[in-house]
Amino acid sequence: MLKAVEVLFVYPDFLEKTRNVRNILGSYSEGLASLSAVLKKDGHNVSLYHQTYMPDRREFIDTIRKHSPDIIGISIRTSAFPFAKEMIGWLNDELPDICVMAGMYHASLAPQEVIDVEGVDAVCIGEGEYVCLDFVNYFAKHGKINTAADSFWVKDSGGTVHKNPLRPFIADLDELPFPDLELFDYTNLRSNVEQNTAEVIVSRGCVYSCTYCANAELRNLYPNKSGYARFRSPENSIKLLERVLEKDPKIECFSFNDAILNANADWFYEFAALYRERIGKRFVCNLRVELITEEMVEELAKTGCYLVTIGIESGNEELRTKYLMRTMKNDHIIKVSHLLKNAGIIVNTYNIIGLPYETPELTLETIKLNAQMHTDNIVISYFQPFPNTRLRAIAEQAGFIDPSVRPNDLVQLRMPGYKRSDIIYFRYSFLMFIRKYRKLYQSYSGERLEREIARLDSKILGKNHPRGLIGVIRQKKYWLNVFIKRTVSRTLPGVYKALRRLRDKKSAIGRLKT
């Protein structure tokens, strides 16, 4: 029997804005939980260093020493790479004998950048469960790293990097053990505490090729690209949810973090029937707007779905089709949103600001589309040019990526037609403008509506309008509100939950009126 290896996962679960904020609750990571389940099943010891703020050097090294790991696996998303790089440097200086492997999206999409970091011994590319198990088992048997490990780039003692081929992805997700919830302080995760909500994933991959998303590029890494979008079977998915409820009985809602829960209609309807019968909790999910039908909306409402998030990203059809490879029509988006609202389901949208070739005028089109949809909630993200994605290449070819821009700058592109200060202004004015345009759509029609919209457009886009100053003020106000919400959720969780329920109730009343 192999000697048990001590594996410590390091999970930087914070943002640039919150790197120095203490007492923030952490988020769940399905990837780490799944890796831990496979390793523990084979007899290895796994623990988690869950970082909700950036530690200083002494705290970090002391924590590592306390765990005394044989192998450290550090989870790296693109926005966390600068922090991970700094911590790996501390390890290299003070604990150079510990094997350090890196994984997650950034490691998979930019393995050369990660393996070049001094102190990184190996980079896991793509899905890691069984290739990491083999990597750890080899270490247990031989006391050293396997330079020929599948799906790994490995740096040997001489500094040579061995770039090994990827093993095919796991075709049948039912073969995987259920995620190791015990890896986390599970009942005290942010969504569990603040919303009595469990975050779950029952699928992997995506069939679409959106140019801004990492999923398409991750799919292209594999020799077996076909079938990359996979679901646990409906029965297995329900058993997973039942296990979550056993772990945290206070859960009132599930948040499905799958890329597209309705990607497979047959799977969806079979799963929905089992969910009603055996789970019966409210849930939220991400759906692909082109795949939503009236029948599906009825099924969602009947099954307990109370919020759906759909990605529209841009309100301009030409930009969306040409640069994002999103071909849906605005008329269909509006129709679907009204179907959902009429069924009593909250409509949430994903929106991206600062896209290549975007202008203030095009951002207003995104705002106006949301206003016509009568969206209840919005998620606004600055465009992030993730490594090796097609939209990053488009931005590079256009000269929009300035090497002098810091990796943690929220606005990554520098475009002559859209100033950084204007992007920040629209980011923090987005919801306010949706409400203003929505009021116009509700109050006027025909030529009067066109005149009122043109008047508001002119005011917002006017040369003398102090967008830069207003953007700074609204940004500060936004983060003050975030701080207040986090403080209330942490110190008065009951009050916070009651306020959220009141907000959802008001949204439901508003849907009935529209």
- The model's confidence at residue 18, banded by pLDDT at 50, 70 and 90, is confident
- Say what the pLDDT of residue 271 is: 98
Span 6-163: which CATH code?
3.40.50.280
The answer for residues whose C-beta is within 8 angstroms of residue 415's C-beta and 6 or more apart is 354, 356, 357, 358, 398, 400
The count of other CB atoms within 10 Å of the CB of residue 166 is 17
Of all residues in the chain, the percent with pLDDT exceeding 70 is 96
Is pLDDT above 60 for 507? no
Distance CA 18, CA 23 (A): 10
Q: What are the extents of the domains in the chain?
A: 6-163, 185-513
pLDDT tens, residue by residue, 199-219: 999 999 999 999 999 898 999
Mean pLDDT of 159-178: 96
**6-163 and 185-513 have identical folds:** no
Residue 143 backbone dihedrals phi, psi, to 5 degrees = 70, 15
- Say what the pLDDT of residue 24 is: 87
290-308 as b/e: b if 16+ CB within 10 A: ebbeeebbebbbebbbbbb
Is pLDDT above 90 for 183? yes
Q: What is the mean pLDDT of the chain?
A: 94
pLDDT tens, residue by residue, 121-153: 999 999 999 999 999 999 999 999 999 999 999
Q: Tell me the CATH number of domain 185-513, given options 3.40.50.300, 3.80.30.20, 2.60.40.720, 3.40.1400.10.
A: 3.80.30.20
- Say what the pLDDT of residue 512 is: 37
- Say what the pLDDT of residue 508 is: 47
Distance CA 27, CA 496 (A): 18
Mean pLDDT of 10-22: 91
- Say what the pLDDT of residue 500 is: 66
Residue 64 backbone dihedrals phi, psi, to 5 degrees = -65, -45
Distance CA 497, CA 437 (A): 30
CA 254 to chain CA mean position, Å: 16
Is pLDDT above 70 for 26? yes
Is pLDDT above 90 for 481? no
pLDDT tens, residue by residue, 273-289: 999 999 999 999 999 99
Q: What string of DSSP letters covers 326-390?
A: ----HHHHHHHHHHHHHTT-EEEEEEEES-TT--HHHHHHHHHHHHHHT-SEEEEEE----TT-H
238-251 as b/e: b if 16+ CB within 10 A: bbbbeebeeeeeeb
In 3-state terms, what secondary structure has residue 318?
helix
Is pLDDT above 60 for 112? yes
Is pLDDT above 60 for 232? yes
pTM: 0.91
- The model's confidence at residue 407, banded by pLDDT at 50, 70 and 90, is confident
- Say what the pLDDT of residue 501 is: 67
- The model's confidence at residue 503, banded by pLDDT at 50, 70 and 90, is low
